[in-house]
Structure formats: structure tokens, C-alpha cells
Structure 1
Amino acid sequence: MNLEEIRDLLQNIKNGNVSIDDGVDKLKELPFKDLGYALIDNHREIRVGYPEVIYCAGKTIGQVKGIIEFMNSKDNNILATRSTKEMYEEVKKICPEAEYNELARTITIKKRQIDITDSYIAIVTAGTSDIPVAEEAAVTAEIFGNKVERINDVGVAGIHRLFNKLDIIKGAKVIVTVAGMEGALASVVGGLVDKPVIAVPTSVGYGANFKGLSALLSMLNSCSSGTSVVNIDNGFGAGYLASMINKL
């Protein structure tokens, strides 16, 4: 329940449109709903501005389906990350309007219209191999009502490609840079723009990349001021933070 729904419920109880017993049953779901295997945080949007997001990895198909089935009874838009195609197929049976982004591994269900920002987030990848993580960031930002510009394959091995897109990058309110290998893209972009840069290291790279550790350390040690770093392959975290900045 969001604040508007709570106000409506209390008003309906006061006006006699909803019985006290029915009202108590509804209010029992506040602040969370116990599904036995998950406690759904019904107050998340009231507290932090965005509803709870479902992290699917490690959950069974039945658990993901059950969580989405309950959340689908509410008015919030739904985002599930790290989903499999099999999870999506089961969700589709109970929610035909669910959409699956195979690259991002996300399930989205749009329950209500959100005003889209005039300002935009630029999501920039070093290489094509980084696109799945970038797409997770993009889907996250979009479901939260942000305009997103995707700029792919402009890494430092061919830095002239980056300069060709610099006007779009500079026009963004916040920039997400997604890179594996040595993770240099974040430092380069951070040294060219006057906007906050969120760096996402990816696990893309050869052996000494250590599954993203080398990119993570490079980004953490960046000398470009105004650059922050999220965890390895954490496109969701970058998209969420970018949305918060873009809406300030």
C-alpha cells in the first residue's frame, strides 16, 4: 500500500464503505506481507521513494511466481532482476502483461504510468560484452521513470568512438559507465564531464581481470573526481542510484 491507498482505506472505513473487520484485514499487511518464504516490504516506496525490487537469483521459480503474484495485486510497478527465461514463462501465466528483457535478465510489469523525466541518464559501455550489465541499469532506470540514452562500445581501445558521442554524454544529468578489462572508461569519462559518474565494473575480461576485480580496483583508484563505484556487474545498483540523482 502506498500513502494514497492507506488514506483511501481509512476514509472508506470512516464513511462505512468498508467494514472495520475488512479494514483490519487489509491493515494487517502493513508494513509487510509474510509469504512464509519471503516478507514483502509494503512500505518500501513510502520510506525511500521506490517499491521493493525482486532479486530472483537463488530463488525457486515457485517463490518468484508467488512474490510477483502478491505484488501484482498492488498498484506499484514491478521489477525483478536476474531472472531466468523459465521464471518469466511461469510469471507470464499469472500476469500476461509481464515483459522479459533477455539481455538484462529482468521481468517488468507496468501497473501505473510514471511521469518520465525531461533530463536523461547516459549509460555508456566500453564494449559490446558489457551491454547485459548496462541493460540491467537501463531497465531499472526506465521502470523508475527516467529517460535513458544508451551508448555502446566506446571503450579506450578506440577512444575516438567516445569523442563522437561526447555531446550526448555531456548532456546527461548523470552518467553510468560500464566496463570490464582494466575499467579505464570511468576515469576517461570522469575527466571530460561536469556531471556525476557512476562506474560499474564488469566481470568481462581475460584471466588477470579476476572476474571483474581488476576493473573494480581501477575504478576505486580513479583520479577523476566526481566518480563513484558500485559492485561488480551491479547494473541494478547503478540504475537505481542514477535514478535518484536524475530526480533530485
Structure 2
Amino acid sequence: MKILKEKNIESILEQIKAGNLPVSEAMEQLKDLPFKELGYAKIDHHREIRNGYPEVILCEGKELEHIVGIVEHMLETGNNIFLTRASREVYEALEKITSDLEYHPIPRIIVVKKREVEKTESVILVATGGTADIKVAEEAALTAEILGNTVERLYDVGVAGIHRLLKNTDKLQQANVIIAVAGMEGALPSVIGGLVDKPVIAVPTSVGYGANFQGLSALLTMLNSCASGIGVVNIDNGFGGGYLAGTINRQIEKARRAES
């Protein structure tokens, strides 16, 4: 694995071996190292050390050859690789360099699976206002799952038929973090936030008729929610919602393990 051949890492390991460098200090030094320079991209191989998760590839806006080049180099680490907003064209191009691919066409996510990830005991619940929000919701749910979280789904429980949500209050109460995905006027997170004592991550979608301004109406509703404990990510940003939920859930897991 190329990233382990860096001279500075060898030096750190030698210092640890000689007893001249505490492991905790060595970890602090390793947090800044290294990245792979490709010219068109700088691959951050040590993001997992700093942030807990490896670097994620956003495919939207990138040239196909650049995506393939980035994945080729990331394969050297032996880690799982996670690509968002990926087209079938990207998937077919990557099939030529690796067979360990999973493609999820609804959220447009590709996973190169090299190792199993242990799942949390703590649960993230992903809820949607309507069926039209599932594309964004699945991006959130799969992001959280890929990053090692146990995820449950509760779809089409919007305020137009609020009895559908209220019938599932047990699921709301059992989750540790809730991602509420909604378009139109975006009221779902406020309702959920008024029912639970846990973090609610609101994800506005661009679903709706003309005056929703491509999701701006839902975004503004969520930002102005009267319910407490709600955080809001950008329009259609299922990835951001899933990533944030996973970060919160990971802290819950750490606390649980520390108590046991």
C-alpha cells in the first residue's frame, strides 16, 4: 500500500519503536498526512484518521476520466470507496477497473466494497413527507448505512395525512437520530421535532409546484421551525443529512461503549 511507504511515516514508526514518541502524539502528527497529488485532484488518504470516515467522491461536475483516475488510486488503500451523484456511465466505466461494485440507481450512489463495516446498535430513522422525496431520502439512508450505521426507513408520512406519522410514533421514539426529508412546504421536521427528544436533521427537497422555488420554500420553513432540536442541511442534500446523522450516532455509540 503506497501510503505506508512515506518516509515521514517510517520516521514516526521508528520513534514509537524506540520509545521516543508517545502513540497519542504520533496520531496527532499522522492526522496531517498524506495526500496523493494527481494534478487534477489531491486524494486525502488520511481523512478517516481525522474525521472517522474516508474521503467521499462527488461525481457530479467531474470528468469521467478524472473519476476513474481517482478511484484507481483509492483502490490501493484497500478501503471501501463511496461515490455520490454517480451516473450509470460512471458505473460502467468503473466496472472495467474493479468488480467489487454496488450501484444504487435511485440515489445515484456507487460503493466499492472491500471490507465489511460494523453496524451501530443505535438507530437512525429516515422519514419522508411523500414518495417523491425517496430519491433524496435514499441518498441519506445509504450514506448513513455505508458509514456504518443501522438505519430504518419510514416513507410517505407527510402532514397531508398526519395519522400515518402518528401511527408510527414508536419508531420515532426508538431512533437515536431522525432525518426528516420533505418538499412542498417542508413541515414534516417541525412536526417530528415536536414529538421527540432527539436530534432531527431536516432535509428540504426540490419536490413541489411552481411557488416552492425548487425547494426554497421547504428550506425556509425548516430554518424557521418553531420546534427545538432541528438542524437543516441544503436542498436535496441527502448525503449531508446522512453524514451528519452518522456523526451524531457515532458519538452516541462511543458514550454507550464507555458506560458498558
Structures share fold, TM-score greater than 0.5: yes
Is 1:137 aligned to residue 134 of structure 2? Answer: no
Of the candidates 172, 196, 201, which is equivalent to residue 199 of structure 2? 196
**Secondary structure of the structure 2 residue equivalent to 1:107:** strand
Shift of residue 75 of structure 1? 2.4
Instruction: Return the alpha-carbon distance in structure 2 between the equivalents of residues 134 and 87 of structure 1.
Output: 22
1:97 aligns with 100
Is 1:112 aligned to residue 137 of structure 2? Answer: no
Shift of residue 72 of structure 1? 1.3
Post-superposition Cα deviations, 1:102-122, rounded to whole Å, max 9, x if no partner, equal 011010112222211011100
Instruction: Return the alpha-carbon distance in structure 1 between the equivalents of residues 70 and 141 of structure 2.
Output: 23
Instruction: Return the alpha-carbon distance in structure 2 between the equivalents of residues 111 and 120 of structure 1.
Output: 24
Residue type of the partner of 1:213? L
2:19 aligns with none
Shift of residue 4 of structure 1? 9.2
Instruction: Return the alpha-carbon distance in structure 1 between the equivalents of residues 156 and 71 of structure 2.
Output: 34
Is 1:187 aligned to residue 207 of structure 2? Answer: no
What are the residue-to-residue correspondences of 1:46-195 with 2, within 5 Å? 46-195=49-198
Is 1:217 aligned to residue 194 of structure 2? Answer: no
Residue type of the partner of 2:159? V
Shift of residue 132 of structure 1? 0.6
State how many pairs are aligned. 231
User: What is the Cα-based RMSD across aligned positions, in Å?
Assistant: 2.1
Shift of residue 10 of structure 1? 3.6
Instruction: Return the alpha-carbon distance in structure 1 between the equivalents of residues 5 and 52 of structure 2.
Output: 15
**Secondary structure of the structure 1 residue equivalent to 2:77:** coil
Post-superposition Cα deviations, 1:162-215, rounded to whole Å, max 9, x if no partner, equal 112221121000000000000000000000011100000000000110000000
1:23 aligns with none
Shift of residue 64 of structure 1? 1.0
Instruction: Return the alpha-carbon distance in structure 2 between the equivalents of residues 34 and 213 of structure 1.
Output: 38
> Aligned in 2, Cα 1:230/1:189: closer, same or farther, shift over 3 Å?
same
Is 1:32 aligned to residue 35 of structure 2? Answer: yes
1:22 aligns with none
**Secondary structure of the structure 2 residue equivalent to 1:212:** helix
**Secondary structure of the structure 2 residue equivalent to 1:73:** helix
TM-score, scaled relative to structure 2? 0.84
> Aligned in 2, Cα 1:208/1:5: closer, same or farther, shift over 3 Å?
farther
Instruction: Return the alpha-carbon distance in structure 2 between the equivalents of residues 74 and 162 of structure 1.
Output: 43
Structure 2 unmatched ranges of 5 or more? 15-29, 252-260
Is 1:238 aligned to residue 226 of structure 2? Answer: no
2:183–2:204 Cα contact (<8 Å) kept: yes
1:24 aligns with none
Farther off after superposition, 42-51 or 233-242: 42-51
2:100–2:114 Cα contact (<8 Å) kept: no
**Secondary structure of the structure 2 residue equivalent to 1:124:** strand
Instruction: Return the alpha-carbon distance in structure 2 between the equivalents of residues 164 and 102 of structure 1.
Output: 30
TM-score, scaled relative to structure 1? 0.88
2:186–2:204 Cα contact (<8 Å) kept: yes
Shift of residue 243 of structure 1? 0.4
Shift of residue 5 of structure 1? 9.4
2:254 aligns with none
**Secondary structure of the structure 1 residue equivalent to 2:95:** helix
**Secondary structure of the structure 1 residue equivalent to 2:228:** coil
